Structure 1
Amino acid sequence: MKKNSVQVSVVMPNYNAGKYISEAIESVLNQDFDNFEFIIVDDGSTDESREIIGSYARQDNRIIFLQNPKNLGIAPSLNRAIKIAKGEYIARMDSDDKAHKDWLKTVYTKIISDSRLGVCGTNLNIVDTDGKIKYLKEYPRTNQECRNTIGMRNPFAHNSVIIRKEVLEKVGYYDNDMLFAEDFDLWIRIGQYYTFYNIQEFLINYRIYEKNSICIHQKEMIRSTLRVRKKAIKLGYKIGIFGRVFYFGTWCAQFMPSKWVLGIFNFIYTKKNTF
């Protein structure tokens, strides 16, 4: 890969995803798109992740392998990768998920077509530990639809997006103080200057399992989401009556059993129950 050929920098943080990381790495390396580098940040893993990543890095010079001395969190890990990225566009990938072969090409083609577009994502296939599809998760398509849903949900699947690097340089990087919902916080800052879009294709397999962060840190994620929605209101986003109802419902979810919350989450965001 020539140095000046890098258009996209794929950044992938990892923490103890050794069971699935090979599949994630190979799904990126096998993309129908050539002009990218692949920055993987291991965030203090204690499993076999580092050895697996190191093995791939030695075999493929597109991979840049960074290692944090201790667990710092997603936001600091992403910021570390972005600051050394050569690409004009930053693509996000998670270490326990799988990208379809045309993910990068499809999203990149869309985002370069409109200079006003700051973030572009896709829909998700929600899969189990074996990669079997459990249900489909759709996201709002147009800029206005994305903005209309901010009061009710995160308008993007973080692990599917491409972001213009100049956007991050303008609004600031991920907030290192946000342990969760760091992506949602970034979107509302970007939306002050740029537009949003989601391609209506299911190009990422998002894996749900017991050690997935959405299952482990459910209550903390709810509280972080509430903080971001409150911030969005202060920044002038119009939440509306349904958004306010959702805000109250989300607040109540802090006190519900985790299984109830996950069940409600799954019901609301399946393909047939999309807002």
Structure 2
Amino acid sequence: MDPVVSIITPAYNAGKYITKTINSVLAQSFEEWELLIIDDYSSDNTAEVVLTLLEKDNRIKYVRMPMNGGPVKARNHGISISIGRFIAFLDSDDSWFPNKLEVQVKFMLEHNIALSYTSYYADNGITRILRKVPQRLSYNQLLKKCHIGCLTAMYDADQIGKPAMPDFPKRHDWAYWLGMLSGGGYAYGILEPLATYTLRQTSLSANKIDLVKHNWRVFKMYEGNGIKAHYKFAIFMFVNVWYTVSEKIGLRLNALFRKSA
């Protein structure tokens, strides 16, 4: 039987933490999946770790890229070789709750949804905070704030096809969802948190100042370079600064409450 869900996991020097990620997939109550580990030419023991786990379950598939090309190329290669109806994404240091696929596939099939996402936790190793999502998002709403965590996103390739992600070094996932919604329609959210995102200071998204130019690149792609685009971008920046500050305050308060408990 062909897998219903193809899970794309780019991995680069992920040997220290990818076991937890893979185990969270192996623990899924929904069993009709394939896990495509796309090794972006790692120089550590990523291959050894993955191949050991692959021996235990043939639903795990390992592909090594011929050279290091970054997460976009790795994800796009995974998308191109996937055979499932639904495409999902899980980075090599993140994890899913055991019912993630079961809940999300059922939700999409029952409501004929093309693109869905869920709430999730952001964890910095000391404490974690819940990132709640809206029940649905239009293109214009998503343009103000990317509420879709890549580790929670799932789309129906029967409805959307298998387009490649834009080849941006950062924010390519946000640009990807915007492209799916640019012709109209909505993405739909599951309010229940079903995944955990690992916050790392060395991650691509850690440098918020550097992200500004990459955010603007996405805006230019879809909104052009006119006054209207600059106005929308100003709104986007205000909203995202607010969310970022609020989350940092929340993480610090959670850490303080843990210490005092």
Give TM-score, length-normalised by structure 1.
Answer: 0.80
Residues 104-123 of structure 1, C-alpha deviations (whole Å, 9 max, x = no match): 111111112233x2211111
- Find the aligned partners of 1:65 and 1:108 in 2 and give their Cα distance: 24
Do residues 264 (structure 1) and 245 (structure 2) align?
yes
Is the alpha carbon distance of 1:32 and 1:133 closer, same or farther for their aligned partners in structure 2, counting shifts above 3 Å?
Answer: farther
Aligned residue pairs, count: 247
Query: Which residue type is aligned with residue 143 of structure 1?
Result: L
- Find the aligned partners of 1:143 and 1:126 in 2 and give their Cα distance: 21
Answer yes or no: is the 8 Å Cα contact 1:103–1:203 preserved in 2.
yes
Deviation at 1:103, TM superposition (A): 0.5
Residues 179-194 of structure 1 mapped to structure 2, 5 A cutoff: 179-191=169-181, 192-194=183-185
- Find the aligned partners of 2:229 and 2:104 in 1 and give their Cα distance: 28
Query: Which residue type is aligned with residue 266 of structure 1?
Result: E
Q: Name structure 1 gaps, 5 residues minimum.
A: 254-260, 271-275
Answer yes or no: is the 8 Å Cα contact 2:114–2:160 preserved in 1.
no
Residues 1-275 of structure 1 mapped to structure 2, 5 A cutoff: 4-115=1-112, 117-129=113-125, 133-144=127-138, 147-169=139-161, 172-175=163-166, 177-191=167-181, 192-215=183-206, 217-234=207-224, 243-247=232-236, 249=238, 264=245, 266-267=247-248
Secondary structure at the residue paired with 2:161? Answer: helix
- Find the aligned partners of 1:233 and 1:168 in 2 and give their Cα distance: 22
Residue aligning to 1:256: none
- Find the aligned partners of 2:234 and 2:247 in 1 and give their Cα distance: 18
- Find the aligned partners of 1:167 and 1:173 in 2 and give their Cα distance: 15
Is the alpha carbon distance of 1:80 and 1:194 closer, same or farther for their aligned partners in structure 2, counting shifts above 3 Å?
Answer: farther
Secondary structure at the residue paired with 2:75? Answer: helix
Deviation at 1:210, TM superposition (A): 2.6
Deviation at 1:56, TM superposition (A): 0.9
- Find the aligned partners of 1:185 and 1:268 in 2 and give their Cα distance: 28
Answer yes or no: is the 8 Å Cα contact 1:118–1:196 preserved in 2.
yes
Residue aligning to 1:258: none
Answer yes or no: is the 8 Å Cα contact 1:150–1:239 preserved in 2.
no
Is the alpha carbon distance of 1:153 and 1:101 closer, same or farther for their aligned partners in structure 2, counting shifts above 3 Å?
Answer: same
- Find the aligned partners of 2:5 and 2:205 in 1 and give their Cα distance: 27
Residue aligning to 2:258: none
Deviation at 1:25, TM superposition (A): 0.4
Superposed CA RMSD in Å reads 2.8
Is the alpha carbon distance of 1:46 and 1:35 closer, same or farther for their aligned partners in structure 2, counting shifts above 3 Å?
Answer: same
Answer yes or no: is the 8 Å Cα contact 1:122–1:202 preserved in 2.
yes
Answer yes or no: is the 8 Å Cα contact 1:13–1:74 preserved in 2.
yes
Answer yes or no: is the 8 Å Cα contact 1:150–1:229 preserved in 2.
no
